[in-house]
Amino acid sequence: MRKMLFGAVATAIVALQPTFALAQVTLPTVKGSVSPTPITTTNFGPFLILEAAPCTSSAAGLPALPTTVTSTAQCIVGTATGIAPGPSPAMRFVGNVLCLDAGPGGDFASFAQNCPAGQTAVVQGLKLIKTVPRIPKCPDVYPGQTTVQTPAQGGIRTFFPLKFSPCTTTFQLQVEFACVSPAAGGARGGVRQVRLNNYTFTVSITPDTLSWLLDAMHNEPLGVCEVPCISDEALFRLLLTQANNVATTAAALNPAVPQSLINLNNAFDVFEATIVKNATFLTSVASITTDAKTGAVTINPCVIFPNGVPGNNTVANFGFGIVDTLENPCACKLIADIFCLKGTFIGRDP
């Protein structure tokens, strides 16, 4: 069983790659090569992105549900002749993603902008820098880590699920390119300037979107257990109520009234205390055992629930209502968001 490492110290893992250096490369339609040139940097952002997004924000043009398939967009109720959609939506929010379109050439050409008229942008270098903050209340899950991706060293990932990305995680896409004046009319073309466009995307949480993350976590199962990581339905509803109280209290915050700040801090503390009280922290919900005599391997993909899928009330039956694993750090993720919100509205914990 994994222990909760509140206040423990973890060593940050930093994987840094060399910085950009414009190499001697041959450009199309240009004779010779590019010599090192001072780089003009343009920063875009930060663009705030969320960990969870509304289901209704899906792009237009998606296929309709086949007529032979029953819709489960709403909780189902029984009728005299069968079933019908009930009044409660089954899924309101889903885990969000950061998706970067590298374009048909895979060179992120659309991000190479700012060349003067008549000059062509030629991409020379690419880098993606992901920085995850250290969360001191869950350092085993979020020790603090910076990774750098380049085309030459593993390639650049363009699709990142964000549901378990802690607040203030940043993604920096750096595109280095030359602004080239093509040869024309017998004249010699060449590089006029070298630019670096830096796009920063920052994962954020707001008081009014805290409940969205609860819904997103409630949509997906723990492995093949077919049980969400918030396994107790009454606890799920309580957490939604408390998250909505955080949103309401934050909206009413008045810096000139000290009591309003105390009320918001209390709302944060109640939400976090409810999570910690009702969570169990594991490495995995699965287990692998080997018989000492025969060497036979037994795999139990859902050992946490030995009698099969449990009923709605896991707090009373098992003593927990949230399951936190390294693969699904539901409790730690929510604690990380409260840590972030407290830092924004009240000040960083000591």
Taking the domains of the chain in order of start, what are their residue ranges? Answer: 13-52+95-204, 206-345
Quickly state the pLDDT bin for 108 (edges 50, 70, 90).
Answer: very high
Contacts of 151 (CB under 8 A, 6+ apart): 126
C-beta separation of 126 from 107 below 8 A: yes
- Please state the rounded mean pLDDT for residues 304-317: 92
What confidence category does residue 239 fall into, taking pLDDT thresholds of 50, 70 and 90? very high
Is the whole model's pTM more than 0.75, yes or no? yes
> Could you tell me which residue, 24 or 105, shows the higher pLDDT?
105
> What sections of the chain are H helices per DSSP?
210-218, 233-251, 258-278, 314-318, 330-345
- In this structure, are residues 180 and 189 in contact, taking their beta carbons and an 8 Å threshold? yes
DSSP E strand boundaries for the chain: 13-15, 39-50, 52-54, 74-79, 82-89, 93-95, 97-99, 120-134, 143-149, 159-161, 170-181, 190-204, 279-281, 287-290, 297-300, 322-324
**Structure confidence by residue, pLDDT tens digits, 4-21:** 443 333 333 333 333 443
Instruction: Please give the DSSP secondary-structure letter assigned to residue 301.
Output: T
The secondary structure of 164-195 as a DSSP string is TPPTT-EEEEEEEEEEEE---TT---EEEEEE
Cα 42 from chain centroid (whole Å): 25
